[in-house]
Structure 1
Amino acid sequence: MAPHQYPSTCLSDRPHDHRVSDVRLHFSGCLRISKRRRFYESLPPDSQARIRRDNEKTTELRHRLETTQCDSTAASRLRTFQQAMLQWSLATGRPPWPLPPPGRTAYLSSPNLVNHHVQAPVFYFRAGHPASLPTLPAQFPNQKLPVADLLADDPSRNPLMQPCDPSTVRYFHLPANNMLWVEEAIARYYHEESRPADDARAQGAGRRRTRTEALLRPEYWRGQQNYDPDCAEVHARHMRPLCGGPDDKNLVLFMPYLHWESDRGRVKSDEMVKEAHLHNVVKSISEVVSQAREQKQGRLSRVQTEDTLSPVLGTAPEGGLGGVEERRRALGRVLRTAAALMEAMDSHNEEMLVLRYLHAQPPLHPRRTLDQSYYGALKSTRARDRDQVVYRGTVGERHDCVGMDACERCNEDIRKVPRIIMVDQLWLWVLDERTVISAFPRRWGRNRPDPSAIHKTLRQRLENVRPGEITSAYDLALIIVDECSRVFFDRARPSTKKPNLVELFAGAIRDLTYKQTAAFDQFLIYTHLAGRDYKHAAGERGSGSSFDSTQNTLLNINPEGNLLKEVKDIVDEILIMVRIKEQQQKVMEGLVKNVKRAMLPLVGGRRGMSSSQEWEMTPGSPNSEHNDGSSNDINEKARGARQTLHRADNLLVDLSERIAELRGLLQIAQHTSAALKDILTLKQQQAGVIEAREAVKQAQLTLKQGQSIMIFTIVTIIFLPLSFCVGLFGMNAIEFSSDAKLPLATQFSYMFPASAGIAIIAFLLAFSQSVHSNSVVALVRSVVSFGYNTVVTWVAVKTGMYMAGREMSRTARVLRDREAKITGGMKAEVMRKEKNLDKMRAANHVRQLTMRKDAGVGGGAGGGGGGDGSGRTTPFSPYAPGSGGGLRPGGVQMAEVDVELGERGTRRLA
């Protein structure tokens, strides 16, 4: 078995060859300490040197973290790890590890220390072949030197200041968009002192401009920076797309390109940006304290103190060793803190780089997410970043499984790494025909090899270049620009870590298109059900609950609204990426223009030619058949220039294909968005139909109520005079009875005024619009309602009727919803079966008509009843030649069949 298959002894989860590809990992993570010496002695000298360099680097970094006063993440986690190791030693009875003394020197007291630990790759080509620089360790293409050496004003240390012969092409890369590094490096190339822009202006207009200032003039450097230090956020910093130069010998290029980052790396970088802002910008002490408190509460993983993450250290338990459970917890703490320390060590250089240069003058440009590149004024885009298509496609789903009960899906999702799309910047300078300097960032915390990194793929491509492919600085510039542009579009080098951008967007659009189609089918089904239920409800044969459920489904636009929001987000992201690709196209067109301006004279072409055929077939060129007397040197230069021009033309063609691919995705997403809008429009129209139906239903109810009132009015008109007569003659008055005491006039004097007063008060309360009458009615109603509600509530609460009624209501609602779903599914299934049955009947009827009419036409035209000579009738085919009559009779028959089917459909609808 391979070493990586032993999880207890090997740290690597990937197969590796310990002799060649991953000797350092195998030595440090797979072997026991007792076996390392023998394994080390069996290695070749270059592998031993790699292991020694790694050990020296680890020792130096640990010493630097142990002796620093700056509370960086790596230093804090190192102390936490040491505390966990001490606790584990006490739990297992081993000798305790002594804690290191407190630091004596601060990390930030030496600003250039960051430059000593950030490595800048270096590439050399001599006579078109890769070459290694003898003064640097390792071999091509893995040679690097500290950035401090590349910026040093010392020709013995700095290769930029050393002379370069005409057959050599060299390339230096700065692993960050740091404007200070760029100014220092270009000044070292010209053997000059770098001067701030303010100092240059202070010297006066008559002072002669240096070559560094001429190349870094505002229109090609600081003037192209889009950033307002007073009001803008740091993620708004970027250089405007540009390709040009002050003269024919120099080329300046700024180009955005797409890359990716893990969600955790993005969060860590945002936290470091906030901390750098806290250290460099905020001046108020109270604001510093409040922000530090919020930062400490919100980011326990950033500053891990001994009180929060480490247990209180004590002596070993009685009896020597601790229990099994305590040793297990101590070992778990060691492993957890070791993993956190490893992560912090990977990002330590990036943290110190941000703290040192983020607010320098000129500043460092941090990486930007896709939304930050477009919405630069937003203070935070974390919510928008986690709504990206790539993030939703790479994040694992949450489950209710916990601990050992985790399902297989949970075990798969826990290995997923959520990722997001980033927009980085390529800065490139062609200082002459033999020197190229570039600057672009790398992913957060990637000190370890990163197969998806731009510079990793660039090293692989330069390692496999053909002899003579790199003959000038423009060849390197074209390769660098091409590698930055093809990050997500290179199918030849798939990566398990890099997200498949095109496939993720295509899959998201496919899912939304499927949901849109399902929503349209559901809308049609429920529309039919609503119409049928309305007819049944009008005939008093249907169920009112099912009808209401169908209407609620038709009136609910939340599902389609959510789908429309998702597709709008997809459209916005694709539009941002298309915009970035169009900016790349503009920059590349300028690059190709400069390349042709420099290369066309070498092949005998003229400036201004745009077609490759023109310069390739130019008569009299050094490589043409008419130029037999040209030297081999000129022929080699012409051949290299022709290859450069071909590569420049192919660069634009490849970029156009990538833009076309993105536009294809955009077109499909926009089509889905339009379809969803159509569904919402149909739902709005259906809501109007439902509203009209309800209005008709309400009008019918109003008519019925008017008829009932009319009946009551007629009855009242008939019986009111009779009641009055009966009441009048039944009164106990002297005129009607001798035993009565009051005369009729006296009774009238009491009865009519009292009735008139009551009637007047009732009319005033009923028809008056005054505030007093409405207040009286409201007061009476409130008093009655208060008493009634109080009594009913007291009875319901005391007797337990409220809880029982609530439970019954919830159960009834669940059953009603379940009934609606089941009946809706059954109705939809019945509709499908009826539709299929209609289709089968129509097909059978067409077959019968075809056979009947074919028999008549065949008998008349062919004379044989079908044309086969046997007297049998064969099915008619309008495209079958022979005695059946050809295309024309078949077309007539099919038209007759279509007419008859149309009449049957019309009769059915009627």
Structure 2
Amino acid sequence: MSEALRRDFTLRNNDLETLNNKFALNAVGIKIYSYVELSDTHLSVLSTNDSSGETLTTIRLCIVDSRSGRLSTPELPYEDEEVIPLNTTHIGCPIFKDEDILYGYYIDEIAALVKNFSAEERAAYHALNNEIMKGTEVDIHQFYVVGTQGEPGSMKILSAHPSLRTFLDYGPAECMMNRLRGDDNDMGVSNGNRRPMIELRSASEPAAPTLIVTTVDSEDASKDASTADTSPSLTPPSVAVPKNIHTRRPTLTPDTVDGSSLAPRKPVKAVQFSDAPHKDVDQLRRPQRAHLFPLPSSSSERFKWIHVPFCHSGWVPHVLTTISQEKGDPKLHSTLLMDKMWFSQHNRSRHASSHARFVRPMAKCLLPRGAERHDGITTPLSANSDVQFVVYMPYLHWDTFKNMQRQAALIKQRSLQAHAFPVTWEVANSKSMEHKLIWQHLTSDRPVHCRRTLDQYGYPSLRNTSVRDADQVLYKRTKPDENAKSSKGASTRKKLSARSSVGRRSGLTGTDENAAKVLMVDQLWLWIMDNQTVITFFAPKEKEDNDNGLSREGDLRGEIYQDINGDFANQCADPFDFAALAVMHAVKALLGDRTTDRNLQVFRIFEEYISILTEQQTSSFKHFRNNHRFQNAKDISAAQHIDNRRDLDALLELRDIEDELNTIDKLIREQQACVADMLSQYDHLTPRDRGHNGVEFLHITSQFLVEHKEQVDGMLKSARAAQRAFKDLLDMKQKQANIVEAHLAREQNEVAADQSRSVMIFTVFTIIFLPLSFFASVFGINSREWSSQPNNYPTLSNIFTYMVSISLAVIIIALLVAFNRFSRGMARRAWKYVAIPILKMLRWLHVIKRLPADVPYGGAAGTSIDLEKMALAEKERGDAKRLSTISRTHSMRMNWEDELRWHRKNSAIE
């Protein structure tokens, strides 16, 4: 073996480990079969000895064993890999020596994959993947300090927004350099040694300066920078500046330079007219030299904030690996993605629903080697000399009910397919990047984590929460008012009365379909790789058509971005300060004071709804008290105490409120645990690792959570008190209904008593006259004893013998038929198979007997019969009948003859 190969095959080779990581990342979503050997290979190596010198020695070892042949590593686990051992050496592994069965399975797997993945489907699959990679924008924000040496500087931010594909191909530093060159779209084109420069010019009025950007050569810029005056100068514009300046190039606003919004204009003093000459106005109109905007340099850079939209676990290794390779340390992210810090935190349910897939909350600090932990918690050490930090935390957000339903339908449709191909037409032509990402990576090895509703967060073990999602308090209080939509011409009084009614679908506040909203729970993933890089992952609220700017309400990325370009810019001196600021805004995303839409003021909606239900409870108590006042039992009506639907609906509403408040309380407790862990770990960081502003942010967040938890506890107490009141009311109504039923039962008992008296009188008369009538009938029998004639028959003993025996038989048979199932069955069979045929035969004989003798019988079908002659013959014999009677008799005879012929035919066939 040559020296070059020896160097390549040495342990811990950085190039080979980098190649292995790249291959593992590119193989995400592909089933990997790793074949390892079980037989030892005989190798002859040159050895040295003090006595014999150099000799050849034979050694035995497995070259491709489970450690070297496996793609997965402890730093980068690969879940979709199956290790198959082969009973051969490393020479026979590639050709499956003596393993024909395994080779056949391997070929069958490849054939099935190729068969189920046609060229058209493969093209659509890759086209969708490329669209996702190119359409997903990664935010790169470079924090740097500008100012005069020796004086406090101010924090500035320069932002770049490359696509995810560009970011992974070139890295964050090259994307930022391309941003400085002005090539935001094409990484391969360079505009030379040019950089943007800020210049102040007037807009529509001289006294209202507006920041615009021009480009100058770097040499001229450096000369101007050395002699530039720090005070802004104004020059009269040659052309009026348009209102929409975000798309003009090279005339750019600071929004394209540092990602911030337009700088606020300076206040304009009121113009006072006087006789003095307007020297100030003339001075303002004089053209002056442009004011330079300082760009970041290697000495002024502080740290980068890299944000990736959507919580896709498959993108995390790609992004972290790209940053590690750019910094020249492939192992920089190894401890951040090890099983204890990443994969073991993923929750998966048995029913494999998408809403049961999330990362458990955690906040861990990875100290460098040699640092001591004072909290007694054992965590892995950092991969370099800097402190590394990991934060996973849920936070409350919102979405429209219509968008939530579309996402649920898409997830259901995608779950029915084993693979992402074939791609449906709706997904391929959809404007939602989130829907495309869900279709592409919902069931992959490292799947995307979908946004969850409040009930999906609170009950991740439920397979389906669609019914609970439709019963959210926020949705029921913000969904369109059907009464207002159907009767627009109704009076205001009717509309208000319809809105004031409380029920399972009441309390509506709007008529716009986009007004219906639901509470969602999103995730914040944050990593601090070193003192210069912080990475965040969280899902955005995508903009919908005609949302009137609602997508900006509670937008976490927008809230953080606005603060780091404003008041909090100078307070983020390092990644730890920024991490605390991001956590603070995640907690305040929806519960903060920046939400202007009344349909998103969650706690106020809960408090109002509880107040409405409490008022209904008071009204129900008063109504019950008024109905309880009566003077006599005849005025009592049980119906008004039995119909409790309105109170029962209110009780169920309070149960829903309590359930959702408990879920929000669970969320706040998890956030409090994360903030407490961060505070305890920030206290042990050295001043070199972090600033002091992050601790202040965390204290503000902790106080905010304490206040809102107290508010939630207060609403829970109110809801539970109202529930107890409704339960007491329903219990009292039930008791009152029982009292009413007792009154009614007493009246019925009195009526029954009167009836029983009448029955008793009749019974007395029956007891008196029954023996009399019996003996009168007995003495009325013409028997030998009563007639005094010796030849008279029967005797009295014979009469009593017949009477008792026949009566006893009839009574026994009647009782058996009445109380014995077998006897009833036998009676039915006897009636069906014996009595009915006999009755039919007797009826037939009676018909034959009554027919005239000269009437032909049994003729062929279709023989005509003169019914008038039959009637005349009956009249001559003195047995005249009506013609209709003769016709019915003839019809019965014909029907009976047909039935006899049918029976004979069936008997012959048998």
User: Which TM-score applies when normalising by structure 2?
Assistant: 0.53
1:824-878 deviations in whole A, cap 9, x for unaligned?
A: xxxxxxxxxxxxxxxxxxxxxxxxxxxxxxxxxxxxxxxxxxxxxxxxxxxxxxx
Q: Is the 8 A contact 2:576 2:691 kept in 1?
A: no
Ranked by relative contact order (alpha carbons within 8 Å, sequence separation 6 or more), the top structure is: 1
Displacement of 1:164: 6.0
Which residue matches 1:481? 583
Q: Residues 245, 164 of structure 1: CA spacing in aligned structure 2 closer, same or farther, 3 A cutoff?
A: farther
Which residue matches 2:345? 224
1:8-67 deviations in whole A, cap 9, x for unaligned?
A: xxxxxxxxxxxxxxxxxxxxxxxxxxxxxxxxxxxxxxxxxxxxxxxxxxxxxxxxxxxx
Distance in 2, matches of 1:430 and 1:405, equals: 60
Q: Residues 727, 353 of structure 1: CA spacing in aligned structure 2 closer, same or farther, 3 A cutoff?
A: closer
Q: Residues 750, 777 of structure 1: CA spacing in aligned structure 2 closer, same or farther, 3 A cutoff?
A: farther
1:119-156 deviations in whole A, cap 9, x for unaligned?
A: 222333323634243xx5xxxxxx53322333234465
Displacement of 1:497: 7.6
Which residue matches 2:320? 186
Displacement of 1:231: 4.0
Q: Is the 8 A contact 2:143 2:156 kept in 1?
A: yes
Give yes or no for the alignment of 1:268 onto 2:425. no
Which residue matches 2:138? 120
Letter in structure 1 aligned against 2:144:
R
Which residue matches 2:434? 350
Distance in 1, matches of 2:544 and 2:139, equals: 15
Distance in 1, matches of 2:750 and 2:763, equals: 20
Task: Give SS of 1:413's match.
Answer: coil
Distance in 2, matches of 1:406 and 1:777, equals: 71
Letter in structure 1 aligned against 2:680:
K
Letter in structure 2 aligned against 1:259:
H
Distance in 1, matches of 2:138 and 2:303, equals: 17
Q: Is the 8 A contact 2:393 2:523 kept in 1?
A: yes
Letter in structure 2 aligned against 1:368:
R
Q: Is the 8 A contact 1:251 1:429 kept in 2?
A: yes
Q: Is the 8 A contact 2:584 2:697 kept in 1?
A: no
Distance in 2, matches of 1:725 and 1:564, equals: 72
Q: Residues 375, 169 of structure 1: CA spacing in aligned structure 2 closer, same or farther, 3 A cutoff?
A: same
Instruction: Name which of structure 1's ranges 178-187 and 699-708 shifts more when overlaid on structure 2.
Output: 699-708
Equivalent residue runs for 1:358-397 within 5 Å:
358-397=442-481
Q: Is the 8 A contact 1:765 1:773 kept in 2?
A: no
Which residue matches 1:313? none
1:169-188 deviations in whole A, cap 9, x for unaligned?
A: 33121111122322222222
Displacement of 1:372: 1.4
1:729-786 deviations in whole A, cap 9, x for unaligned?
A: 6666788889x99959746743673366337745874699731698499989x99xxx
Equivalent residue pairs, number? 552
Computing the radius of gyration from Cα coordinates, the structure with the larger value is 2
Task: Give SS of 1:513's match.
Answer: helix
Of residues 113, 117, 129, the one that matches 2:154 is: 129
User: What do you get for the CA RMSD once the two structures are aligned?
Assistant: 4.4
Task: Give SS of 1:670's match.
Answer: helix
Q: Is the 8 A contact 2:531 2:575 kept in 1?
A: yes
1:300-340 deviations in whole A, cap 9, x for unaligned?
A: xx489xxxxxxxxxxxxxxxxxxxxxxxxxxxxxxxxxxxx
Task: Give SS of 2:570's match.
Answer: coil
Letter in structure 2 aligned against 1:272:
L
Which residue matches 2:259? none
Distance in 2, matches of 1:184 and 1:660, equals: 42
Distance in 2, matches of 1:771 and 1:725, equals: 35
Give yes or no for the alignment of 1:587 onto 2:674. yes
Of residues 534, 554, 557, the one that matches 1:455 is: 557
Distance in 2, matches of 1:516 and 1:669, equals: 11
Give yes or no for the alignment of 1:715 onto 2:816. no
Which residue matches 2:166? 149
Distance in 2, matches of 1:524 and 1:421, equals: 39
Equivalent residue runs for 1:677-826 within 5 Å:
677-690=727-740, 692-693=742-743, 696-697=746-747, 699-700=749-750, 703-724=753-774, 727=777, 746=795, 749-750=798-799, 753-754=802-803, 757-758=806-807, 761-762=810-811, 765=814, 770-771=819-820, 775=824
Q: Residues 269, 685 of structure 1: CA spacing in aligned structure 2 closer, same or farther, 3 A cutoff?
A: same
Which residue matches 2:332? 211
Give yes or no for the alignment of 1:503 onto 2:609. no
Distance in 1, matches of 2:484 and 2:792, equals: 91
Q: Is the 8 A contact 1:354 1:364 kept in 2?
A: yes
Q: Residues 715, 357 of structure 1: CA spacing in aligned structure 2 closer, same or farther, 3 A cutoff?
A: closer
Task: Give SS of 1:436's match.
Answer: strand
Which residue matches 1:16? none
Q: Residues 278, 756 of structure 1: CA spacing in aligned structure 2 closer, same or farther, 3 A cutoff?
A: closer
Displacement of 1:571: 1.0
Distance in 2, matches of 1:240 and 1:212, equals: 20
Equivalent residue runs for 1:894-905 within 5 Å:
none
Task: Give SS of 2:685's match.
Answer: helix
1:469-528 deviations in whole A, cap 9, x for unaligned?
A: 22222221122111111123222x233286221122122222222333333334444444
Distance in 2, matches of 1:185 and 1:714, equals: 104
Q: Residues 482, 209 of structure 1: CA spacing in aligned structure 2 closer, same or farther, 3 A cutoff?
A: same
Q: Residues 520, 155 of structure 1: CA spacing in aligned structure 2 closer, same or farther, 3 A cutoff?
A: closer
Q: Is the 8 A contact 1:266 1:444 kept in 2?
A: no
Instruction: Name which of structure 1's ranges 762-771 and 255-264 shifts more when overlaid on structure 2.
Output: 762-771
Of residues 532, 538, 551, the one that matches 2:638 is: 551
Q: Residues 116, 732 of structure 1: CA spacing in aligned structure 2 closer, same or farther, 3 A cutoff?
A: closer
Q: Is the 8 A contact 2:784 2:795 kept in 1?
A: no
Displacement of 1:434: 3.6
1:582-629 deviations in whole A, cap 9, x for unaligned?
A: 000000111112222226x57xxxxxxxxxxxxxxxxxxxxxxxxxxx
Letter in structure 1 aligned against 2:391:
L
Task: Give SS of 1:465's match.
Answer: coil
Give yes or no for the alignment of 1:659 onto 2:712. no
Which residue matches 1:240? 360
Q: Residues 716, 121 of structure 1: CA spacing in aligned structure 2 closer, same or farther, 3 A cutoff?
A: same
Which residue matches 1:514? 615
Q: Residues 282, 525 of structure 1: CA spacing in aligned structure 2 closer, same or farther, 3 A cutoff?
A: farther
Letter in structure 2 aligned against 1:506:
E
Of residues 418, 422, 429, the one that matches 2:527 is: 429
Distance in 2, matches of 1:737 and 1:747, equals: 11
Give yes or no for the alignment of 1:419 onto 2:517. yes
Displacement of 1:724: 4.9
Q: Is the 8 A contact 1:526 1:554 kept in 2?
A: no
Distance in 2, matches of 1:751 and 1:187, equals: 115
Displacement of 1:388: 0.5
1:398-449 deviations in whole A, cap 9, x for unaligned?
A: 2497799899979961455211111100011122334321110012455996
Displacement of 1:455: 1.4
Q: Residues 707, 282 of structure 1: CA spacing in aligned structure 2 closer, same or farther, 3 A cutoff?
A: farther
Q: Residues 499, 219 of structure 1: CA spacing in aligned structure 2 closer, same or farther, 3 A cutoff?
A: same
Runs of 5+ unmatched residues, structure 2 = 1-119, 146-152, 179-295, 369-386, 496-507, 833-910
Q: Is the 8 A contact 2:818 2:824 kept in 1?
A: no
Which residue matches 1:903? none
Displacement of 1:193: 11
Q: Is the 8 A contact 1:257 1:580 kept in 2?
A: yes
Distance in 2, matches of 1:282 and 1:765, equals: 75
Q: Residues 679, 765 of structure 1: CA spacing in aligned structure 2 closer, same or farther, 3 A cutoff?
A: farther
Runs of 5+ unmatched residues, structure 1 = 1-101, 137-142, 195-207, 297-301, 305-340, 537-541, 603-636, 784-910
Displacement of 1:678: 1.9
